[in-house]
A and B are shown apart, each in its own frame.
Chain A
């Protein structure tokens, strides 16, 4: 009987093109769009050298220490400035045409000319201030005690840091990943459509075909479990395809713990399926209404997990932390991120254990509701 119901259910699901679209193609399309939209997000946060000019006058040419300092910070891959040495007129022209963010006149004192204020202008100003303070300190010390020149140079060269930056992980923080992780979580919870379908198919008060199944000499929960096995296999396959697409085609980094990533996907798929089944069991309305509830709840959970606005995840975590643990989409997203970012598994397992708790609640609730064998009305 298992093989009979299971194989026919597989056929039904594979021919349900609308269902396949929402549970597999839609997340794939969304992942592609995310990839196109977010590809420049990380590079936008990288520091780009600031375009500046220095006026090539007599003072600049004679001020060797400033000249060398400026040239030093304007060379190499991690340079601070893209430096142009030009005449005053050329510098004015370049500033006017926005080719540079400011220009320096190396007079006494050093002058900075900018056309507007902003971060880049502040950086240039900080650099000049820092240079002038250091230059002034050295000049003062030399005037008072020239014998301390060497120890001063040693002090400047060996700046002591009194705090140490210790990373909790070897992984680089990556803001874009959250979007893809919530996308996987969303796809997991779109498996709710399959769960909903399985429950509807054995509820005689919802579908005529369910009434026929209820009159057959097979316990309806048996039919439900056998059909559900087919649905879960289909959804897991869809999730693995999505995962493979993200990893191999879009090169999304899931860290190195592959087996745990697969475990999370499996648990996410079961959680989504059981969530849909539970909603279908408790909502005593027609299928369209159930679909609306599943989509609304899933999208709200995705929003709170940071799918549409990444900072939302942190706003929720700081303002209403309990909501982070009550949102299954967030738990799933966080489990993926914990696998990527943290070296330890404590946070990952916390998420997985709570998610498993949700699965138990959803499954128990569904069982208690659909086990009844007669209906008050059809």
Chain B
């Protein structure tokens, strides 16, 4: 086990930021910490890193209790902060070299690691650029390179794709999977459920500092009753037609708002064809019609009663 968090409690005065949070992360996992903004993801990460005091609980990393002076543990951790943590007065290369140098003393080894990190994040053409000259996406990549250049066994990425263009975002996500393939265990926090679904092998959903659910994405989706969600974009559906759709076999709920008819059905049912037949028979005009399998947002919605996006 790489990380074990047990019964973690953190208060900010009257606000309970972490409410008896427990989880463990196995070697080789890409562990996703998913939750809306303010759910306690970053607080949990900061506690794991011994940056934050906590009121109660225990944290072990690599089988040893984590402390601020546990330098042997820290040597094997790479951290990519939510905020860009680089020096504006140093070039991209110098920034990576500086932070790598806090972990690796040997100059030749460090040079090799720095060059590998530059190649890994695709900053080869920008090594002499100062951070203020880099775009948001390139800056994020530099931030990542500074955190992973020393080849850590455990990499913690706290919302690394915030305010990043799609190209850089894909590059970052591919890079994370590559790091995992190379043997690193990853903790990935995000409020973007599609990213978490895309790269995480196991996911912990938290809200208000509490564990909502843990498991693989399939296990999480299996926890809820929703099987299929059909959306029909139309502005001419009557109340009578809605009532008729509700009576179709397997349909669990029908909701019509903002010219979108959302039809949900239970597990094991496929109602797209039935719904299409009904629409044709009733001669309902529609723009688009599409079917979706449950997402992590649906899991969050069903468990907490609110949207993850909120």
Contact = CB atoms under 8 A, between A and B. Distances in A.
Nearest to B67: A373
B84 A208 contact: yes
Interface stretch (A4-12, A103-111, A115-123, A132-140): A4-12
B53 A376 contact: yes
A148 B42 CA distance: 107
A217 B85 contact: no
A209 B146 CA distance: 11
Given A8-B90, A212-B147, A217 B49 contact: no
Interface in B63-93: 68-69, 71-72, 74-75, 77, 79, 81, 83-87, 89-90
Interface stretch (B101-109, B170-178, B217-225): B101-109
B246 to A, nearest CB: 50
B101 A4 contact: yes
Contacts of A215: 49, 51, 74, 77, 79
A373 B99 contact: no
Nearest to A15: B89
Contact of A377 (B12, B77, B103): B12
B249 to A, nearest CB: 54
Interface string A207-221: 111011111111100
A1 interface: yes
B52 A377 contact: yes
A218 B42 CA distance: 23
Given A217-B72, A374-B68, A11 B77 contact: no
Interface in A195-250: 204, 207-209, 211-219, 223
Contact of A213 (B42, B69, B94, B102): B102
Contacts of B46: 211, 378
Contact of B85 (A8, A13, A212): A212
Contact of A204 (B12, B51, B98): B51
A212 B50 contact: no
Contacts of B71: 217-219
A162 interface: no
B87 A209 contact: yes
Given A1-B105, A217-B103, A378-B52, A373 B74 contact: no
Contacts of B87: 8, 12, 209
A373 B52 contact: no
Interface string A360-378: 0000000000000111111
Interface in A15-48: 15-16
A12 B89 contact: yes
A11 B94 contact: yes
B258 to A, nearest CB: 39
Which among A8, A211, A217 has the highest number of chain B CB atoms within 10 Å? A217
Interface in B12-50: 12, 42, 46, 49-50
Contacts of B99: 212, 216
B129 to A, nearest CB: 14
Nearest to A220: B68
Contacts of B50: 373-374
A211 B81 CA distance: 8
Contacts of B90: 8, 11-12, 15
Given A212-B146, A373-B68, A378 B102 contact: no
A213 B79 CA distance: 10
Interface in A333-378: 373-378
B102 A209 contact: no
Contact of B102 (A11, A12, A207, A218): A218
A12 B90 CA distance: 6
Contacts of A373: 50, 68-69
B103 A216 contact: yes
B69 A214 contact: no
Contacts of B74: 215-217
A12 B52 CA distance: 28
Contacts of B12: 377
A374 B55 CA distance: 12
Contacts of B68: 214, 373-374
B98 A374 contact: no
A213 to B, nearest CB: 7
B85 A208 contact: yes
Contacts of A219: 69, 71
Contacts of A208: 81, 83-85
A378 B90 CA distance: 25
A214 B71 CA distance: 11
B98 A8 contact: yes
Contacts of B75: 217
Interface string B254-296: 0000000000000000000000000000000000000000000
Residue in B53, B79, B89, B103 with the greatest tally of chain A CB atoms within 10 Å: B89
Contacts of A217: 71-72, 74-75, 102-103
18 contacts: A1-B101, A1-B105, A8-B94, A8-B98, A8-B101, A15-B90, A209-B85, A211-B79, A212-B81, A212-B147, A214-B68, A215-B74, A216-B99, A217-B102, A217-B103, A219-B69, A374-B53, A378-B42
Interface of A: 1, 4-5, 8, 11-13, 15-16, 204, 207-209, 211-219, 223, 373-378
What 9 A-B pairs have minimum CB-CB distances, sorted nearest first?
A373-B68, A217-B71, A208-B85, A208-B83, A15-B89, A216-B102, A12-B89, A217-B74, A212-B85
Given A8-B90, A11-B94, 11 more contacts: A1-B105, A208-B85, A209-B85, A209-B87, A211-B46, A212-B79, A212-B81, A373-B69, A374-B51, A375-B51, A378-B51
